[in-house]
Amino acid sequence: MKVRGADDNRTLFANEVGVKNLIVVFAVLAIAGMSGIAEAKNASADYRVVGVSDGDTLTALSAEHERLKCRLYGIDAPEKKQAFGQASKLSLSQLSYGRTAAISIVGRDRYGRAICKIAVAGVDVNKEQIARGMAWMYRRYASDRTYSDAEVKAKSRRVGIWRDTQPVPPWDFRRKGFDKT
């Protein structure tokens, strides 16, 4: 029979403390990870729109005063130097600037911006930009049927970008380097 000494008790205590600390660390990590649940589950939160960069990008402020740069999901608006670029920015400003918006983050783009669905007073701002002819549906990243329907209607009404006989999609405009002037 082996008799435990003081060294054995210290080792036992150290192991118990180590396990408790490990449990605390895992609990903290789990709670910290839960802050990303809203993003993962597309839950929306209310923000105040404090800036509009162009027709598909805005900046919003949370109740906790955290800034969120949002790239609107499923749309691609004309670039600032492109035909209808300024009109598209103005349209997004009219829809959202200074207003409370329910924002759902659906992902992140390669620049780290949040990809967002935006609703103001129950209006789907992303879809409204398409319906007004102020943006294309970005089929490369979205397949929302209501967005494609809005685009078809805007084309048939010849509103916004669809007034041009041959509108240049922003992805072609960027690729050809027209926005570098």
In a domain, 19, yes or no: no
Identify the band that residue 7 occupies on the pLDDT scale cut at 50, 70 and 90. Answer: low
In a domain, 80, yes or no: yes
Tell me the C-alpha distance between 117 and 103, whole Å.
6
* Predicted pLDDT of residue 28: 35
Determine the residue type at 164: D
In a domain, 10, yes or no: no
Residue among 118, 166, 124 nearest 149 (CA): 124
In a domain, 67, yes or no: yes
Identify the band that residue 13 occupies on the pLDDT scale cut at 50, 70 and 90. Answer: very low
* Predicted pLDDT of residue 141: 87
Determine the residue type at 48: R
pLDDT in tens, 122-145: 999 999 999 999 999 999 888 889
Q: Could you give the number of structural domains in the chain?
A: 1
In a domain, 62, yes or no: yes
What residues act catalytically? 71, 79, 113
* Predicted pLDDT of residue 21: 52
pLDDT in tens, 149-166: 999 999 999 999 999 999
Residue among 54, 68, 169 nearest 115 (CA): 68
Task: State the residue range of the domain holding 143.
Answer: 41-175
| Predicted structure pTM score | 0.75
| Residue 155 CA neighbour count, 13 Å, CB half | 11
β-strands 114-120, 44-54: how paired? unpaired
CB 77 within 8 A of CB 169: no
* Predicted pLDDT of residue 56: 97
CB 51 within 8 A of CB 59: yes
* Predicted pLDDT of residue 36: 44
104: left (phi over 0), alpha (psi -120 to 50) or beta: beta
In a domain, 30, yes or no: no
Is pLDDT above 60 for 102? yes
In a domain, 33, yes or no: no
CATH code of residue 66: 2.40.50.90
Residue whose token pair is 């150290």: 14
Q: What average pLDDT is seen over the chain?
A: 84
Tell me the C-alpha distance between 141 and 148, whole Å.
12
In a domain, 3, yes or no: no
Determine the residue type at 173: F
Tokens of 22: 């490990």
172: left (phi over 0), alpha (psi -120 to 50) or beta: alpha
pLDDT in tens, 15-62: 554 545 534 434 433 333 434 434 444 688 999 999 999 999 999 999
